[in-house]
Amino acid sequence: MNTNHNSKKFALFAGILLLGVALFTGTFIFIVQLQKNGDSTTPYVTTENFEEEVLQADVPVLVDFTATWCVPCREVDPIIDELAVEMEGKVKVFKLDIDDSPDIYQEYNINGIPHILFFRNGVEEDRVGGAQAKSTYVDYLDGMIEGKSAFDITIEMLEGDAFRRYFILERDLEVVKTANESVPNLLTQKFENGQTPLSLILNRPSVRQNDLITLTLTFDPEISTHDLVGLGRCDEFLLAIEDDPDAVNRLDPDGNSVLVTAMMRSNRLGEDDCTEVVLSAGVDLSKQNSSNFSLGRAVVLQQNIGVLEKFIELGWDVDLQDDAGHSTLQWAAYYGYIENVLYLLEHGADATLEFPDGRTIEDFVNRSYARSKESLNAMKTNEETDFTEQIKTVKESVQMHEQVLALLKSQVDSETVGAESDTES
């Protein structure tokens, strides 16, 4: 199989991590299958015919790496199905189930799904992670059909707002630097809703976030009040809100609050963390839950009981649910943070809260727990690959979720008995 997977100039090295350890299950299937769900006719490419159908194709090829259990993949599925019909004869469009063909998934070093890979003349030219607009895939395929290079196609696509956001956040730092030479305003021009690239970066943690911030600052971008706390410039933030007191509770164009921005950056900023400064500046916790990123989730991700304690002292309602129905306890339980779960339960968090669709916290955690167990069993029975380190990590996750589920069950049973006693009396 051809292993020249990445164009030297434009390759995507980072994607959206979606339970990577869970992506190696399944058995090999050695036929091209029709779409497994619904009435779609999009063919699946597999281990046996990947070389012939993809690498030896005489037209551009799109391969959608997917899985039946992948929720974000369902957003991409109908788009790929449409492309398979609309571009028939011009390109080849396939899906690849990573559970059925894990060797290909691993060989191409894909970080998460959904992930779309584009091939031409037996070589991967580029890849796009996450669920993108249909126009993104169409524009790329049209460019390949016209014979344009991966570099030229990407530069043209950066004119689109959604793709530029994706590109800045997900592409390798060197790729962003190279692109900026051709698109000088890549990291400074505001997006359609008024959000700046710097603000976008500050509110999306990643392993390369600090490097991307440093790169962006070299182009002298506009810096907002929100950005000041994300950059650890706490004194400047305090001066800014003297002139504009409402800024402490105002959301930015993407819906991020100053407090959430500060918390999302706290671990990386260390001593320069502005969270305490924001909390002391008169922030209204009751106005924070409309933020784009759930405040309850941000609090939990601190993995710091002291932070939880501070919020509760300030009147934080631990049972307040965000727009998706998540409470602070639900997030703590989902991540398996035992100490946070215990602390929240001790301070009256309601373990019986339900999501809008009727799911309970136990249901929410059980879904993650079940997937982890499936992954663990699959890795243990796989004799072809050494998953020693992955098994250790997943086993720890399974054990944490078992403890969380036991705590939740005990609490729910206790609250149920209490409610029944109140009814009888």
Closest C-alpha to 3, from 62, 51, 60: 51
| Count of helix runs (H) and strand runs (E) in the chain | 19, 4
Amino acid present at 126:
D
3-state helix, strand, coil in the chain (%, to 5): 50, 5, 40
> Is 274 known to be catalytic?
no
CA distance 161 to 198: 15
Encode 336-375: b = buried (16+ Cβ within 10 Å), e = exposed: bbbebbebbbeeebbbeebbeeeebbbebbeebbebbbeb
Instruction: Give strand pairing partners of 62.
Output: 93, 118
Locate 395 and state its tokens. Answer: 């086993």
8 A C-beta contact, residue 139 and residue 83: no
Torsion, Cα of 142, 145, 148, 149 (10° steps): 100
Say which of 54, 62, 63, 73 is annotated catalytic: 73
For the chain, state the CA radius of gyration. Answer: 24
CA distance 185 to 189: 5
Locate 197 and state its tokens. Answer: 């690239």
What angle (nearest 5°) sits at the alpha carbon of residue 255, between those of residues 75 and 69?
25
Say which of 22, 70, 260, 283 is annotated catalytic: 70
Q: Residue 145's Cα: distance from chain center in Å?
A: 31
> Is 70 known to be catalytic?
yes
Instruction: Give strand pairing partners of 96.
Output: 65
Closest C-alpha to 212, from 254, 181, 168, 253: 168
Catalogue the active-site residues. 70, 73
